[in-house]
Structure 1
Amino acid sequence: MKFTDGFWHARPGVAIHYAREVDRVATDGTSLRSVAPTKAVRHRGDTLNNPVITTTVSSPMENVVRVQHVHHRGRPEPRRFELDLVDGTGEAKVVDGEGTLTTGDLSVRLAVGKSWELSFHAGGRRLTGSSGKSAAWADVAPDAAVDHGPIELRREGRTSYVFDQLDLGVGELVYGLGERFGPVVKNGQTIDIWNYDGGTSSEQAYKNVPFYLTNAGYGVFVNDPGHVSFEVGSEAVERVQFSVPGESLDYFVVHGPDPKTILERYTALTGRPAEVPAWTYGLWLSTSFTTDYDEATVNSFIDGMAERDIPLSLFHFDCFWMREFNWCDFEWDARTFPDPEGMLARLHDRDLRVCVWINPYIAQQSPLFDEGMAAGYLVKRRDGSVWQWDRWQGGMALVDFTNPDATAWYKDKLRVLVRQGVDAFKTDFGERIPVDVEYFDGSDPERMHNYYTHLYNEAVHEVLAEERGAGEAVLFARSATAGGQQFPVHWGGDSTASYVSMAESLRGGLSLAYSGFGYWSHDIGGFEMTPDAGVFKRWTAFGLFSSHSRMHGSGSYRVPWMFDEDESDPTSAVAVTRKFARFKNRLAPYLVATGLEAHRAGTPMMRPMLLEFPHDPSVPHLDRQYMLGSDLLVAPVFDAAGDVDLYLPEGGWAGLLTGERVSGGRWVREQHDFDSLPVYVRPGGVIPLSAHEERPDADHLDGLTLLVNPGADGWSRTVEVRDADGGPVAFAVRRDGDEVVVTSPIGAGWSVEVVGGGCAAAVDGTARVSA
C-alpha cells in the first residue's frame, strides 16, 4: 500500500506522521523503550499537538529482536500469531546506557537524538535499519488517493495505519512472503498478505505469510495475521515497507547469517513442521474433481496401476465422495459408495492409504447446517444471523473455529471417518473468509481472514494425531499463513495443464520454502484443462522428484494410460510414470532423512539454490531448479523439445540417472527425452537408496545401497538411515586415497556404490570401493 506521491509528498488525503527524533530511551534491563515525536522539537511549544510513536525493542530469543511501534495504546491489543516467545526476554543480551541491545550476534541501536535511527548490526556490519522518514503513523481520509488492498477492505471512514521501512543494501534481494507464483525475487513488487482462491497464474496466493528474508543475512516477520501490505523496493526503491491498519505494528528481525539459520530461528518462533510418515513419500492417485466415479472406477484405476507395475501409496477421493449440494456433511454418497467401511478395508488390504476431500464450509442442504446453526457453531453476521452465500455450495456457512465447542463438534465428525479407515484429509479451501461477520470469541474479522485457515488445519491435524498418533498425521492443505507449516503437507493449488503453469508452480513452491514451509506438492499434469502427453510426462518427472507427489486434475482423470501407452516405448506415459514412481520409492531413505531436517530445524525439503549455496553469486535469481534435500539438484524440463539450461555450482557433480561426471561452476545446456531430466548428486553427496521399489515404507536397511559422489582425499561425513522401528543407524563415509570407505554397526546386508563407478558389499560392517 502506497502512502506517498514520490519521495517528497504524501498522497492526497493522507497525513503521514514520521518518527522524527528520539526524545528519550528508557530501559528495564531487558528492553529499550523510546518516545519519538513526529515533528521536530525546537522549543517547548513544539511538544504540543505533536503525535508520538512509542517504540519498544526486546528479544524473545537469541539472535531475534522484536520491535513494537504504538501510536495510541488505549485500544484492545489485536490478535497476533501464536508464537513461542521462550521467556520473552531472550538470551545472552546486554543493554547499555547508549540505547543498544545485544542478543547473540545481533545488536540493535536506538539512541536519543535529533534524528530517528533504529539500526541492526551483526558481524561487524550494518544489516538494515529504519532511518529518517521510515517509521510512521498515517491518518488516511475516506477519499484518499490510496489503494487499501483487497476489495473487501474498502474503507468508509478515516483509517489509521502504522508502517515502517527497513533499508535495502546494494544487491540485496528479498524472498518469501508466502507461496507466490511470480518471480522468486520480490524486489519491485507490491504484495498484499491476504489469502485468495485465485489459482496459480495471478498475483493472488492461497498461502500468504508476512515473513521475508534477504541475502544480506536477516529475515523480517510482521506479527499480524490480518492484512499486511509490503512494498518491496517499490514505493521506496531502497527500502522494504510494511504497513498494517490500526494503531500498532509488531515485527521481528531474525539474524542468520545464512538463509538456513534464518529459517531455523523463524520456525523456532512460529512452529516447526510436523514429522510425516514414510508412506506419504510414495505416489498419490486421485479420482480428480468433477469426473464420474464409484468403487468400480476406483478399483479400475488401482488395478490398472498394479497391472502396469506402477506402485501407489495412497488413493484420494475428491469432492464427490459426498453427495452434491451437501458439502460438507461427511457422509459417503450411498448411491456410489454403499459400503464405505468395506471399501476402505479392501483398499487397506492392498496396502493403500486413503485420503478424502473436505472443507470448512457447511452447505444449507447438509444436515449439519441446522445442527450447527442451532448450537451456535456457525460464523454469524453482525445482526446475529448465520453468514451465508452461494459461491461454491448453495447457502453455505462457515464453521466458527474460535468457538471451542464448534471445533470439537467439527472434529468429532472427522473422527467418524478416521475410525472408518480414512488415513488423511485434503483440507481444501479456507481462503474466501468474509470480514462483515462476528466471531464467537470477538476476534477482529479482518485479522481472522488469513488466520481462519490456521485454526481449520490445526483442528483437522489434531484429529489425525489423536486418532492415528502424532507421527501419522498428514494433511493435503491448500491455504495457510504464518505457522501453518506445522500442519503438513501443502500443495500448490489450481494450476493449468501447461509448461508455463508447471514453471509458475515451482516458483510458488520455492517462495513457500523461503517462508518456512518444509513440505510441498502440486497437481501432476496441472489441474485445469487436460494436458497433452508431453506436459503430463514432463510434469510426472518433476512431481516424482518433489517432496510429495499426487496425480490430480479437474474434469479429466490423471492415470497415465489415458495419455499414451506402448510397452515397447520407454518414453510412454506409462513407462515414465513407472520409472519415476519406482525410483522415488528407492529414494525413501533419503527423503525420510530430509523430512526429519524439516521437522527438527525448519529446513525445507525442496530448497531454493540459495539455501545450499548462499555465497555463490550465480544462484540468487534461480527459480527453475532446486535442491531436493542437501545432496540432489533437480532441474525440471519446461520445454516440449526437452531443452534445459541449468547452473551447477563449483565442484564435481554426478548425474543420478546417468552416472555422468560433470564439472561445476558453470551453466550447462542439456536435452532430455521424456524418461529423463537433470538430477545431479552434489560433490560429497551421499544418497541412501532402498532396495524396495514397490513401497516407500519398507525396511530401508534391507538391501540398502549408499550412492556416493566422493569429495577429495580426507573428505568425510555421517549419514543416518532409519531402521524398521524408526531408529537411526549411522553410516560413516570417508575418502581414503583412491577408496571410499564406509563403516556401520550393521555388519552386512548393505553396499556402497560410487556414482557411475563400482559397487562393494559390506563385510563385518565395512565396505570399500574404488573412488
Structure 2
Amino acid sequence: MKFADGFWLNQRGYDVNYVNQAYDIVEVENGFMVVATPFYGRERYKLLGSANLEITYTSDIENVIKVNITHHKGYKDNGPHFVLNKGDYKPTVTIDEHKAVLVSGDTRVEVSRDSWSVSYYYKDKKLTSGGWRSTGVIFESAFKQQARLATQADETFWSYPADENRTYIREQLDTTVGEYFYGFGEKFTTFAKNGQNVEIWNADGGTCSDQSYKSVPFYVSSRGYGIFVNSSDKVSFEVCSDTVSKVSFTLPGESLEYYVFGGEDLTQVMKGYTDLTGKPSLPPAFSFGLWLTSSFTTSYDEATITSFIDGMAERDIPLQVFHFDCFWMKGLEWCNFEWDTEQFPDPEGLLKRLHETKGLKTCVWINPYVGQRSRLFDEGMEHGYFIKKKDGSVFQCDEWQPGMAIVDFTNPDACKWYAGYLRKLCEMGVDTFKTDFGERIPTRDVVYFDGSDPIKMHNYYTYLYNECVFNVLKEYYGENKACLFARSATAGGQKFPVHWGGDCSGNYNSMAEVVRGCLSLCISGFGYTSHDMAGFEATATPDIYKRWAAFGLFSTHSRLHGNQSYRVPWLFDEESCDVLRFFTKKKGELMPYLWAQAIKTHEVGVTMMRAMVIDFANDPACLTLDRQYMLGDNILVAPILNEDGIAQYYVPAGRWTDIITGKVFEGGKWYTHKCNYFEIPALAKPNSIIAYGDFKRDFEYDYLDGTNFTIYELEDGKTAVCPVYDTEANKVFELTATRNGSKIECSYTETKANFKITVANTDKVAEVTPTVGSGKVIIDL
C-alpha cells in the first residue's frame, strides 16, 4: 500500500506514526524487546497519548531472526496461522547503553538506542536496514473509510472487503544500488520485482495478469537474504515503488511479524526459509515422466482415452501417467467422486487395465466445491461440512457449479468425510489427484467451524485443502509416494507437491509468462513445478507445440493438457510425435541426475528449477534473467520463445557443453543462434558429472545399471561428485572424479552394476564391471 504523497507528505486520509527512538530495551527469552516511540527525547509530557510500538527480536533457528511489531497486543487473533517449525537454537544477546545486538549463527541484528536505526548483517556484510520513516503504525481517517466503503458495491464474494481494518503496521527496509528482489509466490510479471506493487492475495486470474494462484509473503534479495511476513492476510509489498530506494510491507491490524533469513548465498537462504515453513516433500519417481490428459471440455470416454494411450505406444512415446479431467464425473455434479458410468461403464476394470496392461499411473481431477446436484450436497449440508453464512445457512454461489458449496476444512469431521471418498478412489486404483481451484474463497458474511478470520482464510484455505488430499495419498501409498497436481498454494504449500502454473494460452507470450511464473514460485520455496505444455487455452500451432514440448520435458514435471482440444501430438503434425518422443526419452535418460536433484531439493530446500541468480548472484548479467534457468545444479536450460527458432541466452564463466548437440560454449558471453525442433540449449556446467541412465520406457528403473557417467570440462585440481539413488530414495552409489594434470582419478563405492565413465569432448571411456568394495579408475587424457 502507498501511504506517501511524494517524499515529504502523506496521502490524505492517513495518520502515520513513525518510530523515532528505542525508548527502552529489555531482554526476553531468545532475544530482546524494544519499546519504540514516535517521539524523540524523554520529556514526561511526551509519554502521554503516543502510539508506541513494542518490537521484539528473537531467534530459535540459526541464521533466522524473527521480528514482531505490535501496537495493541490485546486484539483478538482468530487465525489461521501458518504452520511453522520451532527450533531450539539459542542466540547471543548483548544490550548496552548504545545498542542491543542479537547474533544468530552468522546473522545478526543491531538496534541503536538513539535515533531509530535497525541493521541486519551476515558476517561482516550489511544485508538491509531501517531507519527514519521506516517502521510505523498508520490509522485510517473517517474520510478514507468513507471512500473505501463507496467501493463495496463492486466487490465479489472473494474480494478483499473495503469496510474492514482501520489500522495498519508498516515496515520499510533499505536497499542498495543494483539490488534486485524476487519471489512472492507464483508471479507472471517481470521476474525481478523492482518497481512493482505486489499484493499477496490468491485469485483465479490466468497467467496473463498480475494476479496469482499461489501467493507467498516471502521474497529474496540478490544480496543474499530473505524476508517472510508471517500472515495469511493480504500483505501489500511496495518493491522500490512507493519509495524507490526501499521495500515496504504493510499489514492490516495491530501486529506485524516477519522473519529475516541470512545466508552465504540464496541456497542457504532457501534452506533457512524451508527449515521454518517445511521442506518440499519428495514426489515419487514416476511423477517425473510424461503425463497426458483427456483435456477439459473435450468429449471423451474409455475408447477415446484408450486410443490416445495406444497411439502414444504405437509411436514409441513413453507415457507414465494418464489424467482424467473434470468430466470423469457427470456435469453439474462436481464434485460427487462418482464415475460417469455412461462414459466409463467399468471404471475399476479400466483403471486395472491401465495399470496392468498399459503400465500407467492414473490421476483424476477434483476441487473443494460441491455442486447442489451432487449426491454429496445434502450430506454435507446436514452434517455442517460446508462454509456457512453468519445466519447459519450454507454459503452458495453459481460461479463454477450451480449452487455450489465449499468444504470447510477447518472442521475435522469434514476433512474425514472428504478424505473418505478420496480413499475409496485410491482403493479403486487412482494413484493421484489434480487438486484444482482453491483460490476463490469467500471473505464476506461467512463463518468457519473453528472461528477463523474469513479474510485470513482466503489465502490459507488452499493449505488445508491440499494438506487433506495429500495426507490421503501419503497414508494410502506411503512416505515419498504421494504427489498432487495442485494449482493454488500459499506459504508451506511446498510440502504438498507438485504445482502447475494454471491457465496459460497456446502462444509464445504465454509460454514466457509460464517461465517467469515457475521461476518466481520456485524461488519462493517450492521445489518442483509444471505447466500445461502447448497451453491450456486455444490450440497451439505445431511450431509452438514442438517448442513447448522441449521446454516441458526440461521442467521438473511434464504434462500435456488443454481446454477445448486434445493434446496428442499427431493432431498437430507427425514431426510433433518425433519431437515429443525425443525429449521424453532424453528426460528418461536424465532420471538418475534428476532424481538425485529431487532428493537434494527435499533434504535441503533449494528448488530444482532455479533462476540463474540463485547459483550466480555474483555475475551481474544473471541478476535479471527470466528466460533461462538451471535445472538442478548442473544443467542450464534456455527455452526457445519465438517462431523463428532463435535461442538467445547468457552463459556464465567456464566451458559449458550442450548435452544434445555436444557443442562447447565459452562462458561470460551471450549467444544467439537458430535451433531445429530437436534442440533446446541444455548446457552442462563445467566441473560436473551428469549420469545418463539406461532408459527404456518406465521412469522408475535401475538408475545405476548400464548408466553412463559423463564428466564435463573438469579443470585441473577440481573435484566433481555424482550420487545415485534408487527409486526408494536410498543412496546406492557415489562417483567422485578429481583431475590432476592430464589424469582424472575416478573413485566409486561398491557396486553390483555395470556402468561406464565418459569424459565429454574426448574419446575417453572407461567400462566398469561389478566390484567388491570400492573401486578406482584412472583416465589418462
Is the structural similarity TM-score above 0.5?
yes
Aligned partner of residue 200 in structure 1, secondary structure:
coil
2:731 equivalent to 1:732: no
State the shift of 1:320 in Å: 0.3
Secondary structure, in 3 states, of the residue corresponding to 2:559? strand
Question: Could you tell me how far 1:559 is from its partner in structure 2?
Answer: 0.3
C-alpha displacement at 1:123, in angstroms?
2.3
Match of 2:751 in 1: 746
Name the CA distance, whole Å, in 1 between partners of 2:706 and 2:164: 70
The one-letter code matched in structure 2 to 1:604 is: T
The verdict on how the C-alpha distance between 1:9 and 1:666 changes in structure 2, with shifts beyond 3 A counting, is same
Is residue 545 from structure 1 mapped to residue 551 from structure 2 by the alignment? no
Per the TM alignment, residue 142 of structure 1 is displaced from its structure 2 partner at its CA by: 5.1
Partners of 1:108 and 1:499 in 2: how far apart? 45
C-alpha separation in 2, matches of 1:128 and 1:227: 24
Residue 666 of structure 1 corresponds to which residue in structure 2? 669
Q: Pick from 687, 704, 708: which aligns with 1:684? A: 687
Alignment of 1:644 with 2:647, yes or no, is yes
The answer to which of 274-283 and 745-754 deviates more is 745-754
2:442 to 405, 417, 434: 434
Asked if the contact 1:733/1:742 (under 8 Å) is kept, the reply is yes
2:256 match = 249
- Separation in 1, partners of 2:777, 2:305: 46
- Identity over aligned residues, as a percent? 46
Q: State the SS of the aligned residue for 1:471.
A: coil
Letter aligned with residue 456 of structure 2:
R
Corresponding position of 2:298? 291
Q: Is residue 87 of structure 2 the alignment partner of residue 86 of structure 1?
A: yes
- Counterparts of 1:109-258 in structure 2 under 5 Å? 109-113=110-114, 115-141=115-141, 143-144=143-144, 152-156=159-163, 159-258=166-265
Tell me, yes or no, if the aligned pair for 2:62 and 2:105 is still in contact at 8 Å: yes
Paired position in structure 1 for 2:615: 612
In structure 2, relative to structure 1, the CA distance for the partners of 1:4 and 1:318 (3 Å cut) is: same
The partner residue of 1:368 within 369, 376, 380 is 376
Q: 1:482 maps to what in 2?
A: 491
C-alpha deviation, 1:122, in angstroms:
2.2
Cα distance in 2 for residues equivalent to 1:102 and 1:176:
26
> Is 736-745 or 321-330 further displaced after alignment?
736-745
Quote how far apart the aligned CAs of 1:153 are: 2.4
Q: Distance in 1 between the 2:353 and 2:633 partners?
A: 39
Aligned to 1:582: 585
- Which residue pairs with 1:46 in the alignment? 46
Shift of 1:35: 1.1
Q: Deviations over 1:522-570 (max 9, x none)?
A: 00000000000000000000000000000000000000000001xxxxx
> Which residue, out of 712, 717, 722, partners 1:714?
717
Partner of 1:401: 409
The residue that corresponds to 2:284 in the other structure is 277
Residue aligned with 1:698, SS:
coil
- Amino acid across the alignment from 2:472: V
Query: Distance in 2 between the 1:606 and 1:147 partners?
Result: 41
Separation in 2 of the partners of 1:147 and 1:232?
Answer: 24
Q: Distance in 2 between matches of 1:742 and 1:133?
A: 59
Task: Output the CA distance in 2 between the equivalents of 1:516 and 1:727.
Answer: 24
| Aligned match for 2:596, one of 593, 597, 618 | 593
Deviates more, 1:404-413 or 1:39-48: 39-48
Displacement of 1:609 in angstroms is 0.7
Deviations 1:209-230 (A, max 9, x none): 0000101121000000111000
Segments of 5+ residues of structure 1 without an aligned counterpart are: 566-571
Shift of 1:102: 0.9
Q: Deviation of residue 693 (structure 1)?
A: 3.3
User: Does the CA-based 8 Å contact 2:165-2:252 persist in structure 1?
Assistant: no
Contact kept? 1:713, 1:736, Cα under 8 Å: yes
Deviation at residue 78 of structure 1 after TM alignment: 4.9
Partner of residue 107, structure 2: 106
Distance 1:454 1:49, change over 3 A: same
**2:661–2:679 Cα contact (<8 Å) kept:** no
Structure 2 distance, partners of 1:769, 1:635, is 32
- Aligned ranges 1:465-544 → 2 under 5 Å: 465-544=474-553
2:348 aligned to 341, 346, 366, which one?
A: 341
Across the aligned residues of Structure 1 and Structure 2, the Cα RMSD in angstroms comes to: 1.6
| Distance change in 2, residues 1:128/1:283 (3 Å) | same
* Aligned with 2:700 (options 697, 702, 719): 697
Alignment check: 8 A CA contact 2:290 2:584 kept:
yes
Partner of 2:768: 762
Answer whether contact 2:30 2:60 (CA < 8 A) is retained: no
Q: Is the 8 A contact 2:60 2:91 kept in 1?
A: no
Give the letter for the 2:15 counterpart: A
1:549-568 pair list within 5 angstroms: 549-565=558-574
Aligned to 1:153, the other structure's residue is in SS state coil
8 Å Cα contact 1:70/1:247 also seen in 2: yes
Q: Please state whether the residue corresponding to 2:587 is helix, strand or coil.
A: helix
- 8 Å contact kept, 1:207–1:481: yes
Q: Distance in 1 between matches of 2:142 and 2:193?
A: 30
Tell me the CA shift for residue 768 of structure 1. Answer: 4.8
CA 1:356–1:29 in structure 2 vs 1: closer, same or farther (change >3 Å)? closer
Residues 622-631 or 155-164, more deviating: 155-164
Mapped to 2, the partners of 1:252 and 1:472 lie a distance apart of 32
Q: Are the equivalent residues in 1 in contact too, given 2:516–2:627 (CA < 8 A)?
A: yes
- 1:727 shift after superposition: 2.5
Q: CA deviation at 1:19?
A: 1.2
Distance 1:78 1:18, change over 3 A: farther
The one-character-per-residue Cα deviations of 1:30-78 (angstroms, maximum 9, x if unpaired) are 2211112223346211211111111111112111111111111111235
Q: Structure 1 CA distance, aligned partners of 2:753 and 2:260? A: 50
C-alpha displacement at 1:770, in angstroms?
5.3
8 Å Cα contact 2:31-2:91 kept in structure 1: no
Secondary structure in structure 2 of the residue aligned to 1:462? helix
Please point out which of 281, 303, 306 is paired with 2:310.
303
The worse-fitting range, judged by mean Cα deviation, of 734-743 and 695-704 is 734-743
Summarize the Cα distance change of 1:277–1:603 in structure 2 as closer, same or farther, 3 Å threshold. Answer: same
- Count of residue correspondences: 762
Q: Do the aligned partners of 1:537 and 1:577 also contact (CA within 8 Å) in 2?
A: yes
1:724 Cα offset (Å): 6.0
Q: Is the 8 A contact 2:285 2:727 kept in 1?
A: no
Contact 1:141 1:157 in 2 (8 A): no
Q: Provide the TM-score with structure 2 as the length reference.
A: 0.95
Task: Tell me which moved more, 155-164 or 370-379.
Answer: 155-164
Judging changes above 3 Å, is the alpha-carbon distance between structure 1 residues 137 and 652 closer, same or farther for their aligned structure 2 residues? same
Aligned residue among 387, 391, 394 for 1:379: 387
The equivalent residue for 1:67 is 67
Counterpart Cα distance in 1 of 2:518 and 2:727 = 31
Is this contact kept in 2: 1:142–1:159, CA < 8 A?
Answer: no
2:23 counterpart of 1:23: yes
Aligned CA distance change for structure 1 residues 725 and 247 (closer, same or farther; 3 Å): closer
Partner of 1:568: none
State the shift of 1:697 in Å: 0.5
Q: Distance in 1 between matches of 2:282 and 2:727?
A: 16
Give, in whole Å, the separation in 2 of the partners of 1:147 and 1:709. 60
Q: Which amino acid aligns with 2:523?
A: Y
Please say if residues 2 and 147 of structure 1, whose CA atoms lie closer than 8 Å, have aligned partners that are also in contact.
no
| Structure 2 CA distance for aligned equivalents of residues 45 and 95 of structure 1 | 31
Residue 632 in 1 paired to residue 631 in 2? no
Moved more, 136-145 or 47-56: 136-145
Structure 2 vs 1, CA of residues 726 and 107 (structure 1 numbering), >3 Å: closer, same or farther?
Answer: closer
